[in-house]
């Protein structure tokens, strides 16, 4: 127990007292918009060490930053991660980047306190590791507060649930580390082309590839892509905001899916050479499904052109053995309809569902 523990109200006087304690190298229990936290200045290593000791936290587990604004958060997680976080700040989202996690709480008194302490505090939930988070000062005091230097009473935390935690991957996609109040779109596909389209649209999302079995109806391409898109989304049953898609090339009453190998890739290109085919994509979102089609005309391809394209792109993971967005000029003469549909994810349904505004 601290010999000089004080309990203060989360008002102006309490803010001054808590700031003086933290700036003097102390430890404080503070209210936030989610749950009560145990806080220390990040530039006071002895105080941060006390956080670990009081909470009985594994020293290998980092303690996140609460920042007063996105600019202060960026000092720890980098500009890219802070840019994603800022879309939801102030709020219950922690973003991880550059080996650090940070968020800006939706609690005015706490943000003012953080600003008075240099713009950032290390804050962990005010409970013993593995224990239940505290949603009021009495619970926090009973759990860990007696070992702190000051406890600020701000009433019951309005959120009551720990923040969502996401890591920003190198490719700009998000990885869910802890589920929480802030939800994101989940792309049920490992396609880098679909991910590129979403990133270019400014949408933040998780990627979770599913292994749902695929069906094929050679004389009914729309049914094929519809059922496959629905099945991929259904494989993540219970999730909200799941987007899934299936794309095929259709020509001569035949479905051209992904080729088995490079030899079959060349066969596909020979058969499509100099002709116009149709690209169908089925897109499913939270139980609804839409089908979009586009037309693509290939150049008349020589054997040398086919071999060059296959060597450059290695298109065994592309329907029809080609990618219009990667050296497509070598083989494509023209197209009609949606370019993004040919890539594998038309934008029109996303607008209809409100995913793109």
Catalytic sites, residue numbers: 246
Q: Give burial (CB, 10 Å; 0-12/13-18/19+) of 127.
A: buried
Could you tell me the two tokens for 64? Answer: 């996140």
State how far the Cα of 232 lies from the Cα of 245, in Å rounded to an integer.
Answer: 7
């Amino acid at each position: 127990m601290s010999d000089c523990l004080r309990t203060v109200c989360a008002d102006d006087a309490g803010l001054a007292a808590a700031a003086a304690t933290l700036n003097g190298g102390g430890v404080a229990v503070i209210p936030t918009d989610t749950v009560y936290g145990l806080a220390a200045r990040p530039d006071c290593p002895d105080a941060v060490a006390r956080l670990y000791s009081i909470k009985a936290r594994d020293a290998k587990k980092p303690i996140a930053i609460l920042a007063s604004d996105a600019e202060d958060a960026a000092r720890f997680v980098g500009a890219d991660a802070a840019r994603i976080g800022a879309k939801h700040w102030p709020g219950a989202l922690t973003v991880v980047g550059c080996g650090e996690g940070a968020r800006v709480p939706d609690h005015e008194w706490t943000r003012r306190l953080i600003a008075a302490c240099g713009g950032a505090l290390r804050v962990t939930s005010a409970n013993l590791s593995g224990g239940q988070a505290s949603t009021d000062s009495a619970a926090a005091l009973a759990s860990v507060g007696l070992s702190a230097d000051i406890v600020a009473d701000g009433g019951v935390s309005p959120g009551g649930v720990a923040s969502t935690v996401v890591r920003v991957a190198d490719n700009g996609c998000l990885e869910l580390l802890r589920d929480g109040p802030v939800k994101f779109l989940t792309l049920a596909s490992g396609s880098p082309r679909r991910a590129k389209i979403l990133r270019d649209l400014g949408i933040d999302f998780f990627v979770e590839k599913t292994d749902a079995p695929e069906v094929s109806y050679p004389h009914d391409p729309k049914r094929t892509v519809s059922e496959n898109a629905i099945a991929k989304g259904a494989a993540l049953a219970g999730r909200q905001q799941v987007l899934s898609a299936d794309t095929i090339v259709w020509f001569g009453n035949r479905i051209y899916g992904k080729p088995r190998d490079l030899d079959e890739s060349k066969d596909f290109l020979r058969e499509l050479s100099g002709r116009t085919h149709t690209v169908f994509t089925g897109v499913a979102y939270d139980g609804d499904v839409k089908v979009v089609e586009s037309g693509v005309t290939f150049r008349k391809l020589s054997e040398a052109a086919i071999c060059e394209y296959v060597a450059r792109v290695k298109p065994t993971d592309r329907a029809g053995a080609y990618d219009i967005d990667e050296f497509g000029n070598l083989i494509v003469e023209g197209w009609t309809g949606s370019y993004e549909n040919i890539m594998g994810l038309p934008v029109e349904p996303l607008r209809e569902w409100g995913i793109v505004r």
